[in-house]
Amino acid sequence: MPQNYIPIFLFMLVALAIPVVTLVIAKAVRPDNPHATKLMPYECGIDPVDTARARYTVRFYIVAILFVVFDVETIFLFPWAVQFKMLGWFGFVEMMVFLAILVVGYVWIWKKGALEWV
């Protein structure tokens, strides 16, 4: 019975050894010469001027939530596209209704100014 688990243990050993060996080789090969410029925090090409604990405006969170909502809703297009021929006209009309609701929501938040940063 234990001999049946030998391939599993070998696979686990290889799966653990590959990342460890890769990291050790990378550490041995790479140059190690840090200086102040390399160790400085870097964000989008702008030098940091404040702490990371600064407050964000509510507008940032609104745009983030809107992105997640529209991103998640557009994921529903992939299964529809895969089954497009099988669904026929019913599936097409249903997706057009879904997209119309999405567009109405997008136009509404655009008109409300939720996508403006300033």
pLDDT of residue 52: 66
List, for residues 11-29, the tens digit of each pLDDT value: 999 999 999 999 999 999 9
**Residue 65: which H helix or E strand, with range?**
helix 58-74
Contact 91, 84 (CB under 8 A): yes
Contact call for residues 95 and 80 (beta carbons, < 8 A): yes
CATH number 3.40.50.10680 given to 2-112: no
Quickly tell me which residue has 């990371």 as its tokens: 52
φ, ψ for residue 43, nearest 5 deg: -140, 105
pLDDT score, position 47: 66
**Which long-range contacts link 78-81 to residues 24+ away (Cβ below 8 Å)?**
none
Query: pLDDT for 29-74, tens place per residue?
Result: 998 888 887 777 766 666 666 666 777 777 778 878 888 888 888 8
